[in-house]
């Protein structure tokens, strides 16, 4: 089965919005500053963006705070030059919400069923907030990573669009050298780049591999 070209879908959507000379609002879930560099660079001239730093999976609390501070730093740097200033929403961190959906999946490998549940949790909450606050679109930066399933993310996003009645922003931000851009921008701006996905299970796996 041929994969959908979500990058092309986004390109076509951006072209359509520009032709209409519109500036729709976008609630963009972000896992970290490095991953958001690519998305914000590509979208900030087209959308009025609010970054939604919703990541209940992050462990420990200090990691949540570290990534949040880097997100604040990046937005501050970008806003010095942007006409459409980027805003930021940071819900209270609640890892227990993630642990509840991960029950029974603790020993799954990275990229398996636990990750699918995590994607769903983050995208569903983003869609709910977008609906509640009348955003035109909602989306996520997660697809910039080669370790994230862009097909899953977009399938879930479209499902939430149907369920909550808010437009989902399709994307595969790793395309067009998006992942490389995020690496280079992180180096240029001195951003912290984490060495594990973020949840306690990915941290345990990283440490186990390091010790073997």
| Tens of each residue's pLDDT in the chain, 212 residues | 457 999 999 999 999 999 999 999 999 999 999 999 999 999 999 999 999 999 999 999 999 999 999 999 999 999 999 999 999 999 999 999 999 999 999 999 989 999 999 999 999 999 999 999 999 999 999 999 998 999 999 999 999 999 999 999 999 999 999 999 999 999 999 999 999 999 999 999 888 776 65
Report the distance separating Cα 156 and Cα 169, nearest Å: 11
The stretches of the chain forming alpha helices (DSSP H) are: 6-20, 33-43, 61-79, 95-101, 113-132, 150-164, 178-189, 200-211
Structure tokens at 101: 């959906």
C-beta of residue 32 within 8 angstroms of C-beta of residue 67: yes
DSSP summary character for residue 195:
S
Largest alpha-carbon pair distance within the chain?
A: 56
How confident is the model at residue 212, as a pLDDT?
A: 54
Q: Answer whether 0.85 is exceeded by the pTM.
A: yes
CB neighbours of residue 91 within 10 Å: 12
Peptide bond into 60 cis (omega under 30): yes
Report the distance separating Cα 199 and Cα 196, nearest Å: 8
* Closest to 82 (Cα-Cα) out of 33, 130, 35, 49: 49
CB neighbours of residue 156 within 10 Å: 21
CA atoms within 13 A on the CB side of 197: 23
How confident is the model at residue 211, as a pLDDT?
A: 65
Strand partners, 171: none
């Amino acid at each position: 089965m041929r994969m959908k070209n979500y990058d092309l879908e986004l390109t076509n959507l951006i072209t359509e919005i520009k032709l209409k000379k519109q500036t729709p609002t976008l609630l963009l879930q972000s896992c970290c500053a490095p991953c958001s560099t690519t998305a914000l660079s590509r979208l900030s001239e087209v959308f009025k963006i609010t970054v939604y730093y919703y990541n209940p999976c992050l462990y420990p609390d200090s990691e949540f705070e570290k990534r949040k501070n880097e997100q604040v730093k990046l937005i501050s740097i970008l806003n010095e030059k942007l006409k459409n200033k980027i805003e930021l929403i940071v819900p209270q961190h609640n890892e227990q919400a993630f642990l509840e959906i991960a029950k029974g999946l603790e020993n799954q490998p990275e990229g398996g069923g636990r990750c699918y549940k995590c994607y769903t949790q983050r995208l569903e909450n983003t869609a709910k907030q977008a609906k509640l606050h009348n955003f035109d679109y909602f989306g996520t930066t997660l697809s910039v990573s080669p370790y994230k399933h862009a097909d899953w993310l977009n399938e879930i996003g479209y499902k939430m669009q149907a369920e909550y009645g808010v437009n989902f922003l399709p994307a595969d931000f790793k395309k067009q050298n998006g992942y490389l851009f995020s690496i280079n921008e992180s180096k240029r701006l001195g951003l912290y780049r984490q060495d594990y996905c973020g949840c306690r299970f990915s941290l345990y796996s990283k440490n186990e591999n390091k010790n073997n």
